[in-house]
Chain A
Amino acid sequence: MTTVFGIPLGLIQAQAFNGLQQGMLLALISAGLTIIYGALGVLNLAHGALYVVGAYAGYLTYAQTGSFLLAIPAAAAASLLAGFVMERLVVRFYYDRPDEDQILVTFGLGIILVEAVRAIFGGQSQNTPTPDWGQGASSLGFLMFPFPWYKIETIAISAALLLAFYLVLYKTKLGLVVRAGIEDAGMVNLLGINVYRIFLIVFGLGAMAAGLAGIINSPITAPTPDVGGRYLVLSFVVIVIGGVGSFPGAVLGGIVAGEIMTLTSLFNPSYSEVMLFAVMALILLLRPQGFFGQAGRA
Chain B
Amino acid sequence: MNRALPLAELGLAATLILAPFVLPHVAADIPMLSRILIWGFFGLGFSILFGFTGLLSLGQAVFFGAGGFVTAYLMIEQRWNVLLALLAGTVAAILLGLVIGYFTERRRGIYFAMITLAFGEMFSHLDLTTFAHYTGGENGLPGVPPPALFGWRADSELSMYSFIAVFFFVGYLIARRIVASPVGRILLAIRDNEGRVLATGNAVHLYKLCAFTVAAAYAGLAGGLLGMFQNYMPPDAFTFETSGQLLIQTVIGGASSLLGPLVGGAAWIYLRETLQHGFGLDTSWRLILGIVFVLLVSFLRQGIVGGVVRLFHRPPAPLDVDHDLTAAPNVLSPAARPASFGPPILQTEALGKRFGGLAANEDVNFAVAEFEVRGLIGPNGAGKSTFFRMLAGEMQPTSGRVLFRGKDVTGNGVCAMCQNGVAKSYQINQLFDRLSVRENLLIPTLAATRGRFRLDLLRSITADPAVERGVHDTLALVDLSHKADTPVNQLAYGEKRRLEIGLCLASNPKVLLLDEPLAGMSPSERVSTIQLLTRLREGRTMVIVEHDMEALFGFADRVTVLVEGKILVEGTPDEVRADKGVQTAYLGGVDHDLPAEAAA
Contacts and interface: CB of A to CB of B under 8 A. Distances in A.
Contacts of B158: none
Nearest to B132: A270
Given A100-B56, A104-B56, 11 more contacts: A101-B297, A103-B58, A109-B290, A109-B294, A118-B287, A233-B118, A237-B118, A239-B114, A273-B121, A273-B125, A277-B119
Nearest to B240: A229
B113 A43 contact: yes
A190 interface: no
B244 interface: yes
B208 to A, nearest CB: 15
Interface in B105-137: 106-107, 109-111, 113-115, 117-119, 121-122, 125-126, 128-130
Nearest to B293: A108
A151 B103 CA distance: 36
B573 interface: no
A160 interface: no
Given A100-B54, A123-B283, A270-B130, A111 B293 contact: yes
Interface in B546-566: none
Contacts of B50: 100
B291 interface: yes
Contacts of A123: 283
Nearest to A122: B283
A77 interface: no
A229 B117 CA distance: 11
Interface of B: 50, 54, 56, 58, 103, 106-107, 109-111, 113-115, 117-119, 121-122, 125-126, 128-130, 240, 244, 247, 251, 283-284, 286-287, 289-291, 293-294, 297-298, 301
B286 A270 contact: no
Nearest to A41: B110
A226 to B, nearest CB: 9
A229 B294 CA distance: 18
A119 interface: yes
A244 B107 CA distance: 13
B52 to A, nearest CB: 13
Contacts of A233: 117-118, 121, 240
Contacts of B284: 115, 119
A285 B301 CA distance: 34
Contacts of B297: 101, 104-105, 108
B247 A112 contact: no
B165 to A, nearest CB: 30
Query: Which of A107, A274, A285 has the most chain B CB atoms closer than 10 A to its own CB?
Result: A107
Given A104-B247, A104-B251, A273-B125, A288 B107 contact: yes
B399 to A, nearest CB: 20
Nearest to A37: B110
Interface string A258-298: 00000000000011011001101100110010000000001
A288 B287 CA distance: 37
Contacts of B110: 37, 43, 99, 103, 244
A217 to B, nearest CB: 18
Interface in A88-138: 90, 93, 98-101, 103-105, 107-109, 111-112, 115-116, 118-119, 123
A271 B50 CA distance: 31
Contacts of B119: 277, 281
Interface residues of A, number: 40
B290 A115 contact: yes
A90 B291 CA distance: 12
Contact of B122 (A37, A99, A101, A277): A277
Contacts of A82: none
Most buried by A among B118, B128, B293: B118
Among A103, A240, A244, the one with the most B-chain Cβ atoms within 10 Å of its Cβ is A103
Q: What is the predominant secondary structure among interface residues of chain A facing chain B? A: helix
B240 A281 contact: no
Contacts of A108: 290, 293-294, 297
A236 interface: yes
Closest 8 pairs between A and B when the two form their complex, measured CB to CB: A111-B290, A270-B129, A115-B287, A277-B122, A99-B109, A108-B294, A43-B110, A112-B290
Contacts of A237: 118
9 contacts: A100-B113, A103-B110, A108-B294, A109-B290, A229-B240, A270-B125, A270-B128, A277-B118, A277-B122
Contacts of A100: 50, 54, 56, 109, 113
Contacts of B56: 99-100, 103-104
Contacts of A273: 121-122, 125
A290 to B, nearest CB: 10
Contacts of B117: 233, 236
A274 B286 contact: no
Contacts of A277: 118-119, 121-122
B244 A236 contact: no
A280 to B, nearest CB: 6
B129 A236 contact: no
Contacts of A271: 129-130
Contacts of B244: 107
Contacts of B128: 270
Contacts of A270: 125, 128-130
A297 to B, nearest CB: 9
Nearest to B244: A107
B294 A274 contact: no
Contacts of B129: 270-271, 274
Given A112-B294, A288-B107, A236 B114 contact: yes
B298 A93 contact: yes
B123 to A, nearest CB: 9
Contact of A284 (B54, B107, B286, B294): B107
B286 A115 contact: yes
B14 to A, nearest CB: 33
A285 B247 contact: no
Most central of B56, B103, B126, B297 by chain A CB within 10 Å = B297
A96 B111 CA distance: 18
Nearest to B287: A115
B294 A103 contact: no
Contacts of B58: 103
Nearest to B54: A100
Nearest to B110: A43
A43 B109 CA distance: 10
B18 to A, nearest CB: 33
A96 to B, nearest CB: 13
Nearest to A236: B114
A104 to B, nearest CB: 5
Nearest to A270: B129
Contact of B294 (A105, A116, A239, A285): A105
Contacts of A280: 115, 118
Nearest to B100: A281
Interface in A64-103: 90, 93, 98-101, 103
A52 to B, nearest CB: 14
